[in-house]
A and B are shown apart, each in its own frame.
Chain A
Amino acid sequence: MADTNTDPSTQAGADTDAFIELDGVEKVFDVRKKTGFLKRERRQVRAVDSISFTVPRGEMVGYIGPNGAGKSTTIKMLTGILTPSGGRLRVAGIDPSRERTRLAHRIGVVFGQRTTLWWDLPLLDSYKLMHRMYRIPDARYRENLDRLVELLDLSALLDVPVRQLSLGQRMRGDIAAALLHDPEVLYLDEPTIGLDVISKARVREFLRELNAERGTTVLLTTHDLQDIEQLCSRVMVIDHGRLMYDGPLAGLHEVGDSERVLVVDLERELPPIEVPPARVVKVEGPRQWLAFPAAESAAVLVARVAAEYPLVDLSVREPDIETVIAKMYAEQAERAIS
């Protein structure tokens, strides 16, 4: 905390509580493509193109976008794995690429598809290594381990070699390993990829508690929009290296100009219902699908349908974010063309 405040580079206008700060951060890769036997074509790819945002301490942020959008590149810059090509980047007042090891003590990282655990050794051995490598004081290590084992339900797994764990168990093990040294921020790259429903729920539940109890800042990239819906108050959408949206999840619907769908079951087959501004998108026997703007009240619409038609049953479907984002991309592309 003291670090961030005394940091003279913190801009006067900026939020002083900003824990993660990116200002015009860029990452340009030189890609060499073979064009002939020895000829190579050099091409520059902007994986991250002038991204700026700040994350205050204790926030849970979802970072989403299609494959190759620049999510992982951003995470790698935030953890000091990659050096930015331009712009300014600070995590806890530290320049990650310059002071990688110093930063390492203050961050936790979980890569969904790679493990930091030791394949052939009991789970506990990996934790003992963390204990010594991060120089965690004994008392704190024991306290943290006990708490994580309880919350992540690991007690039966501590003596099991990691290679025998299921994917979900291993993921929980990895998350615990990333938190033993009390990091102030936790980066999760696809934490629920490949997990079954129960494992996913458990991981989400844990992350919520971690954030509430410890105030740990969490930044997670994911393909699973439920992760975002259930965990993050704030979403950032990135595509082609650019930040396309940064705000609350609800706002994403407005930006995407999305529609909700009212599904009604009528007593019998009838011609398409007419209640503007809703429009019928599908009819299947007595069942009809009505699309209406997400901002409109569903109650008003339902009342009108019920007043004019023999209604048996109904349900409202919220737009899924995937569609919203797809729509956003499409609009962006349209604007680019015109």
Chain B
Amino acid sequence: MVETSASGTARTAGTGAGEPFGGSRAGEALRAYRLIAGMWIRSSMTYRTSFVITVLGNLLVTGLDFVAILLMFSQVDSLGGWSLPEVAFLYGLSATAFGLADLTFGSMDVLGGRMRDGSFDILLVRPAPVLAQVAADHFALRRLGRITQGVLVLVWALLTVDVDWTAAKVLLVPMMLVSGGVIFCALFVAGAAFQFLAQDAAEVQNAFTYGGTTLLQYPPTVFGKDFVRGVTFLLPLAFVNWVPAAYVLERPYPLDLPHWAAFLSPLVAAVCCALAGLAWRAGLRSYRSTGS
């Protein structure tokens, strides 16, 4: 008993004496992220040719996704009742949002490997938030390829799609990109948290993140209803683009959701972040109490 109270006092005294290095936690995290991402960029630049080839390769491979859709449309006029520019709109939104998340948090699947080989411990003895260090781990600019490709398709879709643009619809486009990116980031973090429990779970995580983005490149009407329900409520991926895009394109909502659901994406993203944050903390705590 005495011990607990004593250590409590010590702790308050300790924090009172001052975090000698000021700045908020978020600021610290961003700073650590920038420092480590910078090191990885410099590392990848030491192999310049390889870097250029992987950027081009990334652009090409992700571009093939869209080519698959183009091929489909060479045979049919619409997909689940959606025209080519409409599907391109979905595709561009999903690919760009995912690309943003993939660039910033996409390397979190190396966490399992770091835990297995013990190098995760090195991150834990550095004076920086662990999540920021893990997110920046293996930061790769080649992932810009995916974003570039998504943006190109999105721009083409915006130019050709048949929409009566209103202020709300215009506003929804950047909102979808940001919220969508954040939702995917949260999925990456949650997936990483899961790796604390099952250290080879990276593939499970990839099924949800990479699998998710491929899914969202097609209209919801081509999938079974129960499947769409699962995606919407279990993993709130539908809020990345399906629901808000249905508003923009004046299409019936998947699952007959109410009209205002289109504007829920930021809220859904915030909830996802909170849940992912909790999962991460729980995961990290379990690592620090069980070890490897």
Contact = CB atoms under 8 A, between A and B. Distances in A.
A82 B291 contact: yes
A134 B21 CA distance: 9
A81 B6 contact: no
A133 B127 contact: yes
Contact of A3 (B3, B14, B43, B285): B14
Interface in B9-44: 9-11, 13-14, 17, 19-21, 32, 35-36, 39, 42-44
A132 interface: yes
16 contacts: A6-B13, A7-B13, A29-B290, A73-B291, A76-B121, A76-B291, A82-B289, A99-B11, A102-B14, A104-B125, A104-B127, A111-B118, A114-B118, A116-B126, A121-B46, A161-B46
Contacts of A125: 39, 42
A83 interface: yes
B270 interface: no
A99 B14 contact: yes
Interface in B117-169: 117-119, 121-122, 124-129
Interface residues of B, number: 37
A82 B288 contact: yes
Contacts of A119: 43
A95 B124 CA distance: 15
B7 interface: yes
Among A7, A80, A101, A107, the one with the most B-chain Cβ atoms within 10 Å of its Cβ is: A101
A118 B121 contact: no
Contacts of A76: 121, 291
Given A76-B291, A81-B291, A83-B289, 6 more contacts: A3-B17, A81-B124, A118-B39, A121-B39, A121-B42, A133-B32
B7 A95 contact: yes
Nearest to A31: B290
B103 to A, nearest CB: 20
A8 to B, nearest CB: 5
A104 B128 CA distance: 9
Interface string A218-232: 000000000000000
Contacts of B126: 104, 116, 133
A135 to B, nearest CB: 6
Q: Which 5 A-B pairs have the closest CB atoms?
A: A104-B127, A9-B6, A120-B43, A9-B10, A81-B124
A83 B39 CA distance: 30
A93 interface: yes
A105 B20 CA distance: 10
A133 B128 contact: yes
Interface string A221-253: 000000000000000000000000000000000
Contacts of B36: 129
A143 interface: no
Contacts of B288: 81-83, 97
Interface in A113-170: 113-116, 118-121, 125, 129, 132-135, 161
A107 B122 CA distance: 13
A129 B35 contact: yes
A207 B215 CA distance: 58
A79 B10 contact: no
A93 B15 CA distance: 12
Contact of A114 (B9, B17, B20, B117): B117
Interface in A79-104: 79-83, 85, 88, 93-95, 97-102, 104
